[in-house]
Chains A and B, each alone.
Chain A
Amino acid sequence: GEDVEQSLFLSVREGDSSVINCTYTDSSSTYLYWYKQEPGAGLQLLTYIFSNMDMKQDQRLTVLLNKKDKHLSLRIADTQTGDSAIYFCAESFTGGGNKLTFGTGTQLKVEL
């Protein structure tokens, strides 16, 4: 079945790195995504990784994928107050009609 889990909260100091974790159960996932949601807003696509990749870096963002353990992480370097938001991981899979299955979201709070 499909199930995506995330820890609910993460608090970091400005300038530190943040690591947001996600586990999923569907081994046939094709792509895994990270979205950011600010209060009262829609979802902003941050980055995605194809399931045959281990790592992807995009400026301050690094995505790590451990397919054996079905574990996905998002590292934000030099975290800023503007990074405070809810972060969702999501998976899609071949034959799934491109439906995204989302986790419950991790609320990141960046403190000065």
Chain B
Amino acid sequence: ETGVTQSPTHLIKTRGQQVTLRCSSQSGHNTVSWYQQALGQGPQFIFQYYREEENGRGNFPPRFSGLQFPNYSSELNVNALELDDSALYLCASSVRDSNADTQYFGPGTRLTVL
């Protein structure tokens, strides 16, 4: 158990809809990163939040957006869902500039887009 929690566990949406996924970071961690893991693939970095601001972004379109709150929890929002957005969405928390910047992952949210 890493102490990182995500909700919901599973979600089914239809194409064109919008979705919000939530993540609570491990106690004492100030940075949250989001990853998309398609079936049979390794996780792909979406973006990272530190001090409530986006701090690095991967190769994802603007319809993927996020927020970080003062308690360091975070949301991932995806607009205009496409079939290819079906994946496991993982968040990871860490302490910025700590030793190794190690990231601890939550259990993920499985999103299915029909």
Residues of A within 8 A of B (CB): 4, 31, 33, 35, 41-45, 48, 50, 88, 90, 92, 96-105
Contact = CB atoms under 8 A, between A and B. Distances in A.
Interface of B: 2, 4, 31, 33, 35, 40-45, 48, 55-56, 58, 90, 92, 94, 96, 100-108
Nearest to A102: B42
A98 B42 contact: no
Contacts of B103: 45, 98, 100
25 contacts: A33-B102, A41-B107, A43-B43, A43-B105, A44-B2, A45-B102, A88-B42, A88-B43, A92-B101, A96-B56, A97-B55, A97-B56, A98-B48, A98-B56, A98-B101, A99-B56, A100-B35, A100-B45, A100-B92, A102-B35, A102-B43, A103-B42, A104-B40, A104-B41, A105-B41
A99 B102 contact: no
B33 A99 contact: yes
Nearest to A94: B101
Among A4, A41, A50, max chain B CB count under 10 A is at A41
A55 B55 CA distance: 31
A1 B35 CA distance: 19
A50 B100 contact: yes
A48 B56 CA distance: 22
A100 B41 CA distance: 14
Contact of B102 (A48, A96, A101, A104): A48
A35 B55 CA distance: 23
